[in-house]
Amino acid sequence: MHEFQFESRVPILGPLISGVRRLWHSIAGRWALRWLAGQQEGINAAVAERLNAAAQAGQVHDSRIAELEARQRALFDTLRTHIGQYETEKGRLAASHAQLTDLIHSLQQERAGQQAANAETATRLEQRLDALAEAVAADATHLAQLQTATQCHLQEIGQELGEMAGRIGGLRQEDAA
């Protein structure tokens, strides 16, 4: 900053007018300017402090968003694992069910052929058939339980993903504000 130089073009009295103005400026003006400069320095310090606080808050939000995104990726990985396990178990149970159905069918045919010849053999075959039917029912119940558990897991993961997306959106809105 440079001080203002008072000049006067008035003949003869010009130097006197300039001298009086410089004197008045040194008495009143400098103090007013110092006061204004002090206020401006205070404002500048407050603005710098708030900008630093906002930058730190932004870093905290960025790290939280990164954590939430990592958690979301982990949940997606878990979901893929559960779906894979569900599909594998579903395929195994379907194959087991088909084998048991074929066995039941063949046992029913065998039972029909031997019923006339031997009542005792028919009783044994009926017991085997009942045991196999119970096994099929147990496998069907197990399959239903697996489907229910998988659906519950999928719903829980979906809810967590929705909540995370809401939190990430809220954090991004805060960052934008």
Q: Rounded to whole angstroms, how far apart are CA atoms 175 and 164?
A: 16
Total domains present in the chain: 1
Residue 92: inside a domain: yes
- The answer to whether the beta carbons of residues 168 and 70 sit under 8 Å apart is no
**Alpha helices, H only, the chain:** 14-24, 30-115, 119-176
**What's this model's pTM, rounded to 2 decimal places?**
0.38
Q: How far is CA 113 from CA 88, 107, 110, 116, in A?
A: 38, 10, 5, 7
pLDDT tens for 151-167 read 998 898 889 888 888 88
Residue 9: inside a domain: no
The confidence score (pLDDT) of residue 114 equals 65
DSSP 8-state code for residue 11 = T
DSSP 8-state code for residue 116 = T
The confidence score (pLDDT) of residue 10 equals 75
Q: Which of 47-56, 77-86, 138-147, 165-174 has the lowest mean pLDDT?
A: 165-174
Residue 8: inside a domain: no
pLDDT tens for 60-70 read 999 999 999 99
Question: What's the CATH number where 58 sits?
Answer: 1.10.287
The confidence score (pLDDT) of residue 74 equals 93
CB half-sphere exposure, 146, CA atoms < 13 A: 19
Domain coverage including residue 102: 14-176
The confidence score (pLDDT) of residue 54 equals 93
Average pLDDT, the chain: 85
